[in-house]
Amino acid sequence: MSELPPDHNADDQPDPFDEIIAEETDRDPDLAVIEAGSRTLRTQGGPPDADIPTRPADPEVDKALREVETELATRWGETKLEPSVSRIAALMDVLGEPQRSYPSIHITGTNGKTSTARMIEALLGAFELRTGRYTSPHVQSITERISLDGAPIAPERFIETYQDIKPYVEMVDASQEYRLSFFEVLTGMAYAAFADAPADVAVVEVGMGGSWDATNVIDGDVAVVTPIDLDHTDRLGNTHAEIATEKAGIIKQGATVIMAQQPVDAAQVLLKKAVEVDATVAREGLEFGVVERQVAVGGQLVTLRGLGGEYPEVYLPLHGAHQAHNAAVALAAVEAFFGVGAQRADALDLDTVRKAFAAVASPGRLEVVRRSPTVVLDAAHNPAGARAAAEAIGEAFQFSRLIGVVGASGDKNVRGLLEAFEPVFAEVVVTQNSSHRAMDADELAGIAVEVFGEERVQVEPRLPDALEAAITLAEEEGEFSGGGVLVTGSVITVGEARLLLGRG
């Protein structure tokens, strides 16, 4: 496996940063190769090109998709919530309960949900099951959220699904105190699309929390809880235990719970809920886990202990210890789905497991999108995610000088995020994305100065300017330096940077 070469898609579209690295073309080619090799030796393998769809090529389809996006945008956004599943339950009722037509694996937690969902999807697909995956938020295109057979549904199908359920959505809107939200409509679309496919199994990531999340009208055969940390505290609670109480709502009667390593108070809550509903629990570090891991070209080589035995030398084209732990959780979830540890004692086929993990991609999660200097994207948006990314980038890339580009949302623990990155960023360029939720660049700069010191902070309110400034800073040490850029702070910031850098 190999990543696409530098400047992929350069022939297909203009690159806004050509002038920044124009001098590269005038250098001795041998020196350029030496420099690139010294910076990126550990990252040349990489995952397959991430499945991020572009805008539809057909103007009529693109117009129709934009009309759907515009209609959805008139509804409550994902950050405005009324804690109830009554509206989505009403929609499922008038649609004929499509979510009951397939088994499901339901995923909650604070960090790692989307990467874990993608790994579960890859494993199930490798065992020849037709999968439907529902994840959020999207990196670049709204169609990413609903996937069939490991790929986002086509824009035409997305539009058709929306048009199919629209009359029923309007019927529910008229009967409820509040209209269905943006996320509730998308959830209804996903469940309907999976039933129509039809999917053999759905892999569903909660939007926020668990009990009253719109996705929680399914009864997951397997409930997965990735690591819980403090995030969305204004809605979910101020302690690990309070947050776990909400997330435990996805654990249903008789289900199997796959539990990542948790804070003690969160684990106690989850285990108590499992006892109440007679669920079976498998805990990372006890029933399953990571046995061994080592950095490899483009990712890592791991040995995992599953519910049915060990799986040695599994190549995972993703960086960081946190992704190895996500892989262990995903493997245990799929084993549980197939009855390993309950109805059967034997492990899954090792070659199939290896093939599945080797094909995993997770866009915007320590994703390399450019070389010379290397530019990495990571969607860390809370302190726990930032700590994991900071540790992983130091292990996998060994930059001598790392420049951060940070654009965060105003409702996040921005200080905690910046403090997590402070030890690894030589300098930070603060910016803001186009979302109405984005923290003002000057406000973010004020916090950054308190964390980094004024001499290490640069303010560029426009993201294109921030990227250009960071790339320039990374190149300051000269052509033999090991400078790099990490763009982080928000999924939206990462998605917009990805577009600017010619990926998608």
d(CA 348, CA 495) in angstroms, rounded, equals 36
CA distances from 11 to 72, 202, 502 (A): 34, 38, 10
User: How many helices (DSSP H) and strands (DSSP E) are in the chain?
Assistant: 16, 17
Residue 425 sits at φ, ψ, to 5 deg, of: -90, 125
b/e 364-403 (16+ beta carbons within 10 angstroms → b): bbbbbbbbbbbbbbbbbbbbbbbbbbbbbbeebbbbebbb
Helices (H), 371-440: 383-396, 414-421
Query: What is the Cα Rg of the chain in Å?
Result: 22
Predicted confidence at residue 140, as pLDDT, reads: 86
DSSP β-ladder status, 280-283 and 256-259: parallel
Tell whether the model's pLDDT for residue 23 goes beyond 80: no
Say yes or no to pLDDT of 79 above 70. Answer: no
Torsion of CA 206, 337, 330, 78, to 10 degrees: -10
φ/ψ of 163, rounded to 5, equals: -65, -35
pLDDT in tens, 101-159: 999 999 999 889 999 999 999 999 999 999 999 999 888 899 999 999 999 999 999 99
69: amino acid identity, one letter = E
Residue 258, CA distances (Å) to 33, 173, 278, 347, 414 in order: 45, 36, 14, 16, 30
Q: Which two tokens stand for residue 127?
A: 């065992």
Strands 201-205 and 104-108: parallel
Q: What is the pLDDT of residues 328-374, one digit of tens each?
A: 999 999 999 999 987 777 899 999 999 999 999 988 889 999 988 99
Instruction: Give 227-292 as a DSSP string.
Output: ---S-SHHHH-SSHHHHHHHHGGG--TT-EEEE----HHHHHHHHHHHHHTT-EEEEBTTTBEEEE
Per-residue model confidence as pLDDT tens digits over 399-423: 999 999 999 998 889 999 999 999 9
Give CA separation, 192 vs 86, 95, 174, 189, 419, in Å.
Answer: 18, 8, 20, 5, 43
Residue 277 CB burial class (10 angstroms; 0-12, 13-18, ≥19): middle
The pLDDT tens digits of the residues spanning 30-42 come to 333 323 332 222 2
Residue partners of 479: CB distance under 8 A and separation at least 6? 27, 31, 32, 35
Helix axes 59-73, 155-175, angle to 10 degrees: 30
Alpha helices in 9-112 (DSSP H): 29-40, 59-73, 86-95
HEC string of 13-27 equals: CCCCCCCCCHHHHHC
Q: What is the pLDDT of residue 479?
A: 55
Percentage of the chain modeled with pLDDT above 90: 71
Of 313, 363, 307, residue with least CA distance to 330: 307
Report residue 65 as tokens.
């998709």
Going from the C-alpha of 4 to that of each of 45, 48, 95, 420, 494, the distances in angstroms are 9, 8, 43, 30, 19
**Position of tokens 């796959």?**
258
What type of residue sits at position 189? M
Please list, residue by residue across 465-487, b when 16 or more beta carbons sit within 10 angstroms of its beta carbon and e when fewer do.
ebbbbbbbbbbeeeeebbbbbbb
Q: How would residue 482 be classed by pLDDT, with cut points 50, 70 and 90?
A: confident
What confidence score (pLDDT) does residue 251 get?
Answer: 97
Q: What pLDDT, in 10s, does the model give residues 430-448?
A: 999 998 889 999 999 999 9
Q: Which residues contact 446 (CB under 8 A, 6 or more apart)?
A: none
The structure tokens 């939206």 sit at 492
